[in-house]
Chains A and B, each alone.
Chain A
Amino acid sequence: MPAAETYPDDLRYHPEHDWARVEGDEAILGVTWFAQDSLGELVHYEAPATGSTVAKDESYGEVESVKAVSDIVAPLSGEVLAVNEKVVAAPETVNDDPYGEGWLIRIRMSDAGELDSLLDAEAYRAVVAES
């Protein structure tokens, strides 16, 4: 079942429709409900390699639906500690649970100061309203 539209208050957001859940000096990254809804059911997740680095505002992978491919933009910089292999095997997990089981990567943040530039849920909802 596709998830209902939500933008949890405990997450930080990037205007390119990505979210970050900060846990100490680590962060879990994923794409928002809006992103998965725009794409439709996902059929492929091109994930980065564990141990590689991702840079804020730059693409670290791709998600694809039947119709389209989309870059996944990193909301924060850091080293990739883990890739969600469940999503690699079953990309539709992102549609079912974009903020839970459908997370994409876990990183060790290299610059906690970047957090200040991310949006809170309210500001991100305003971005979605204009999209």
Chain B
Amino acid sequence: MEATLLRTPLYARHVELGARMVPFAGYEMPVQYEGVIPEHKAVRADAGAFDVSHMGEIHVDGPTAQAFLQSVLSNDVDKLSDGDAQYTLLTNETGGIIDDLIAYRLGHGQFYLVVNASNRAAVYAWLKEREPRGCEVRDASDEYGLVAVQGPRALERLGLRDAPAFTHAMGELDAIEVMVARTGYTGEQGVELCCAEDDAVALWDAILERGVTPCGLGARDTLRLEVCYPLHGNDITSETDAISAGLGWACALDTDFPGVEVLRRVKEQGPIRKLVPFVMEERAVPRQGMPIDGGGEVTSGTHSPMLDVGIGMGYVAREFAQSDSELVIDVRGKPRRARVVKKPIYRKEQ
């Protein structure tokens, strides 16, 4: 197995930094350097850098690119101007989620999608199969390095001016040409920097020289879960719909895309099961796959480094979905109480 694992351009840097490497989505990736908890806290208090070069980048270009993306993505692509970015979903005919992704409008008829590493092949195949005349879908994942720099001091440490969230612009860091996107998946202010693959090591070094803490996939997971961002493969899948997952805000139901009729119906009738965030009321760490009394299931669970309690998300029957509802989770045979909370689980001001 190990021989078949791919490596990002930063692999050697991770090993030099003493990272613990694990297989993830076909890549050998750093799960942690110093430790999940200190890395997590560095992002909440200052700034952390994540190698996300394993993620897929797909270009969609041509005169019909915009109309094509509007017909396959859940959100309203027509709302994007040059320099904008948008969280959106690729859905199947039954309203299931093939992937969640960010669509960037680079220019007229020029779009760029950043997709989950584990879904890169499926997304590319889905788009390529449906590619209309006047539009080219191209998987450019191996041409770029991608580094997320996240935290309240991320922009300051990189010497970048603030910009509205979900925008992007070309820029430079130590003379390295980068696309700077005001996006991320940690709930903190920050950027994602995309550069040519050959520049990735220089970019990484330039970021760390500015005092940013290297962070692994472990902290990426705890950070996103504290702010209730769903993880495809856990909380959302090709079997779950966006409305039940609480992602209706990323679905323009007045546009046409695969499965939209299903989503309209779920919205009208109300979901049977809903994805809810919860906090443990007893000492225990919930984990993916644990049953929740009443037919529910934990889809993501961990120990919150900021709150120092077990937290998670899971699908529960709608009668248990109100905030403050009590849940009972089967933690390896032991019933443990949890409480449904409002999103996000962790909020900075508290």
A residues with a Cβ closer than 8 A to B are 2, 40-41, 43-44, 46, 62, 64-67, 69, 88
- Find the B residue at minimum CB distance from A67: B218
The 5 closest A-B pairs by CB, nearest first: A43-B303, A66-B36, A64-B285, A41-B37, A44-B285
B35 to chain A: closest CB distance in Å?
5
A46 to B310, CA, bound (A): 13
A107 to chain B: closest CB distance in Å?
22
A89 to chain B: closest CB distance in Å?
9
Residues of A within 8 A of B303 (CB): 43-44, 64-66
A43 and B285 in contact, given A64-B303, A66-B218 (Cβ under 8 angstroms): yes
Interface residues on B, range: 10 to 19
Residues of B within 8 A of A67 (CB): 31-32, 36, 218, 302
Asked whether B285 lies within 8 Å of A40 as measured between CB atoms, the reply is no
The answer, yes or no, to whether B312 is at the interface (CB within 8 Å) is no
A64 to B302, CA, bound (A): 10
The answer, yes or no, to whether B305 is at the interface (CB within 8 Å) is yes
A88 to B283, CA, bound (A): 9
Residues of B within 8 A of A40 (CB): 32, 35-36, 218
A40 to B305, CA, bound (A): 13
Residues of A within 8 A of B285 (CB): 43-44, 64, 69
A88 to B284, CA, bound (A): 11
- Find the A residue at minimum CB distance from B217: A67
The answer, yes or no, to whether B54 is at the interface (CB within 8 Å) is no
B217 to chain A: closest CB distance in Å?
9
Residues of A within 8 A of B222 (CB): 66
Chain A to chain B contacts (Cβ below 8 Å), 11 pairs: A43-B285, A64-B285, A65-B36, A66-B37, A66-B218, A66-B222, A67-B32, A67-B218, A69-B285, A69-B287, A88-B283
Contacting residues of chain B (14-58) with chain A, CB-CB under 8 angstroms: 31-32, 35-37
A66 to B40, CA, bound (A): 11
Residues of A within 8 A of B32 (CB): 40, 67
Residues of A within 8 A of B302 (CB): 66-67
Asked whether B36 lies within 8 Å of A44 as measured between CB atoms, the reply is no
Residues of B within 8 A of A2 (CB): 35
Residues of B within 8 A of A41 (CB): 35-37
A68 to B35, CA, bound (A): 13
Residues of A within 8 A of B308 (CB): 43
Residues of B within 8 A of A88 (CB): 283
A131 to B333, CA, bound (A): 30
Asked whether A66 lies within 8 Å of B287 as measured between CB atoms, the reply is no
A119 to B306, CA, bound (A): 40
Asked whether B37 lies within 8 Å of A44 as measured between CB atoms, the reply is no
A67 to B285, CA, bound (A): 10
A50 to B32, CA, bound (A): 36
A50 to B64, CA, bound (A): 70
A41 to B35, CA, bound (A): 7
A84 to B222, CA, bound (A): 28
A2 to B302, CA, bound (A): 21
Asked whether A66 lies within 8 Å of B305 as measured between CB atoms, the reply is yes
Give 16 new A-B contacts, CB below 8 A, not counting A41-B37, A44-B303, A69-B285. Answer: A2-B35, A40-B35, A43-B37, A44-B283, A44-B284, A44-B285, A46-B284, A62-B332, A64-B285, A64-B303, A65-B303, A66-B302, A66-B303, A66-B305, A67-B218, A88-B283
A9 to B303, CA, bound (A): 34
